Amino acid sequence: MFWNSVTRRAASSIAQSSVYKRSFFCAVSIGAAAYYLNSNNCRHMSTNHTPYTSASFEVPTQPASWAWSPERIVFDAQCVVQNVSELNDRLARIPQPSVDNFVKPLYTQENRIGPLVNQLCFLQHVSADKAVRDASIEATELLQNFEIEQALRHDLFLQFDAVWKQLNADKDAFISAAPANFEIYRFVEKSHRDYVRDGHNLSQEKRDQVKEIKKQLASNSLQFSKNLGEQQEFIAFTKEELAGVSDVVMEQFETIEEAGAPTKYKVTFKYPDIFPVLKTATNPETRKRAFLADQNKVPQNEPLFKDTLRLRNELAQTLGYDTYANYALEIKMAKKQDTVLDFLTDLKDKLEPLSKTEIATLKALKKQHCEKIGIPYDDHYYIWDTRFYNDLLLKENYQVDLELIADYFPVESTIKGMLGIYETLMKLKFVEETDPAKKKVWHQDVKQLAVWKMDDPERPAFVGWIYFDLHPRDGKYGHAANFGISSAFVDEHGQQSYPVTALVCNFSKSTANKPALLKHNEITTFFHELGHGIHDLVGKNRLSRFNGPGATPWDFVEAPSQMLEFWTWNKAELLALSQHYETGAKIPEALLDSLVKTKHVSGALFALRQLHFGFFDMKVHTTTDLDSLDVLKLWNDSREDICHVENGGEYTKGYDSFGHIMSDSYSAGYYGYMWAEVFATDMYYTKFKANPLNSTSGVQYRDIVLANGGLYEINDKLTEFLGRAPSKDAFLEEMGLSK
């Protein structure tokens, strides 16, 4: 997932884009340029340009400090508001706006301010200090509301409109006049488009209405995310109830001791706690309790979710769209809700026969297992059965023990190996900063690495910084995502500013008896998120808004990282990554062969799970009569219908923790995961399947697909990379479906 502080336009947009999780969440770009807050009371923030050496590589810039007090966070956010407001006021008064006197000051300010804003907002997801997280949320809300205010300034729109008309009077002449002019034209084009989408063709009354709706939507999204991040709920089980859960996992649970009662173990809803219980606890009641509790862990989010649906529908109607989905999709590849619904329906129909075969296999396994452990089999397959019997299927039918396999993939050596694959494939170099005096991180667990391009090994070119925050802690973002903290840009003096990005994961920590180990799905997760990170780092455009994943259409944003997941299913790469945590031995080839064969085991059912999310997302965003929409029933009944798993009469509120749907970028956009798979598979099959470590193709991929960001139409860049128009044939072949 990519989180991005999606900002849209000039100085009236205050944060630059780069997640793959990003609605209005902010993330950082710290570069070589200086960032000025030109107010008497606001600090001058600049990066230190003194080069220093890290593992023989001379780094041209140091990243900014992460030592923020709560007061400083809020104060600097206020300074940003003050400075951007002053600039916009001045620009709105220019009698004859032009590229030089109006547009250039806007994108210059956007480039400069973005890194600071992103850093202020990112801290809410990772700081160990609750006061800092709260201040970051306060700053984010302040900045979001300010962005909305500025986006609805009609005086700025009129200035943009005048420049837009000037440029289009002789577009070709303007673009050909200077190398940088195409980017400037695209900057004006996209900014003007966004102003129109904000309702600047409407009356003042309606623009005011749009403003209030957007402010409330931003507030809802922030509170929804905060509730998820701050929830400290858990479910307690006895050791007997946790039968089947490994000793290694049991060691990480806190215990509850009460006089006269058996010891109980606290299972939180963090991935390293809840997933092993759902996958390995042999008692079905334990799995049921764990699943239901996890699905219902944030009831306070339900009113926020429903209010957001209401507000989005109202926004679309006010702006003249028939549904919110059609409003959101207008700037994505799919363009229209009918295109999305046709795509989802066609894929569902193709998956149906295979999924029914998979369910029959799992039900037979459940029957056999129930008989083996002496419990009744009721001829049902429940949603809380899925992880357990999928795991058991791998063990029983494919001799794949995921816990045993994890012993061969310690976190430290495995990540080093994965970085090595990226280095070979894309001619990069990762150098970890180990000097405490130079290391600048937000938590002692975080790793900081400098990244270099090695096209010419004699003259490595610095790319930027990447952070790895790999383990769970209280208050931290609870899933896996890449946060683009800053995009590259070239400032007005021609100086390169370098990007910064962060991988935030929640892998299990070391225990007293074992180091931190990666399960195979976690290897895939890291490789995926690292793909987003590299996308963030290798951008080559002059303006920050066109670099990184967040600059691409949101139904393409996952494709580059999804393509890279293929490497984690290749036998040769997995063998090279493996190193037993005790002996250093490579994983036995027989075990590896068994693992690789399971890539598409229950694959149709997994795809249908994704389609359930996609259909739900589209239904709630295409329904205009929300009073008649029973969200609880829709969530649960559609899951039964699409996924072929039963609810057992238990209705859960999993949508209350469905963070994607509360994000502007992923709302009416969850289909994008499956949509992007089509492009991901096409790229892999065409350019890498025959030779996964082909650096010629890897560098082409880096420089054509990734480095161009969103400056050009993505279909054009895919065609250039593939040598033909994109096709869905490889995707259907990979899924085992007919063309």
Give the gyration radius of the chain's Cα atoms: 26
* Burial class, 38, CB count within 10 angstroms (exposed 0-12 / middle 13-18 / buried 19+): exposed
Residue of 36, 39, 47, 42 lying closest to 75 (CA atoms): 42
CB 670 within 8 A of CB 617: yes
What's the half-sphere exposure (Cβ side, CA atoms, 13 Å) at 340? 31
Residue position matching structure tokens 């080839």:
589
Ramachandran region of residue 528, left (φ > 0), alpha (ψ -120 to 50) or beta?
alpha
Question: Three-state DSSP class for 432?
Answer: strand
Q: Does residue 469 contact residue 502 with C-beta atoms inside 8 Å? A: yes
Phi, psi values for residue 712, rounded to 5°: -110, 165
Our measurement of the distance from residue 169's CA atom to the centroid of its chain's CA atoms, rounded to an integer in Å, reads 40
How is 578-625 classified by DSSP, letter by letter? ---TTT-PPPPHHHHHHHHHTTTTTHHHHHHHHHHHHHHHHHHHH-S-
* The pair of three-digit structure tokens given for residue 207, joined into one six-digit string: 């623009």
455 Cβ neighbours under 8 A, 6+ residues apart: 427, 461, 699
Question: Comparing C-alpha atoms, which of 419, 414, 415, 439 is closest to residue 429?
Answer: 419
Number of separate helices (H) and strands (E) present in the chain? 26, 15
Active site residue 240: no
Decide if 42 contacts 83 (C-beta within 8 A).
yes
Distance CA(244)–CA(282), nearest Å, equals 5
- Buried b or exposed e, range 380-417, using 16+ CB within 10 angstroms: ebbbbbbbbbbbbbbeeeeebebbebbbbbbbebbbeb
Catalytic annotation, pick one of 147, 241, 529, 734: 529
β-pair partners for 462: 452
Classify each residue of 486-504 as buried b or exposed e, where b means 16 or more C-beta atoms within 10 Å of its C-beta: bbbbbbeeeebbbbbbbbb
Q: Angle of helix 154-169 relative to helix 181-197, nearest 10 degrees?
A: 140
CA separation for the pair 562, 528 (Å, rounded): 6
Q: Which of 736, 678, 627, 660 is nearest to 228 (CA)?
A: 660
Q: Which two tokens stand for residue 393?
A: 């299927």
Write the DSSP symbol of residue 626.
G
Residue 701 has what DSSP assignment? I
Residue 685 and residue 224: Cα distance in Å, rounded? 39
| CB distance 651 to 213 below 8 Å | no
What span, in angstroms and rounded, lies between the C-alpha atoms of 609 and 440? 40
d(CA 436, CA 214): 43
Q: Are 84 and 150 in contact (CB under 8 A)?
A: yes
The rounded distance, in Å, linking the Cα atoms of 428 and 575 is: 22
Rounded Cα distance between 678 and 732, Å, is 8
Letter string b/e over residues 199-218, b meaning 16 or more CB atoms within 10 A of that residue's CB: bbebeeeebebbbebbbbbb
Which residue from 410, 714, 684 is spatially nearest to 550, judged by alpha carbons?
Answer: 714
Active-site annotation, residues: 529
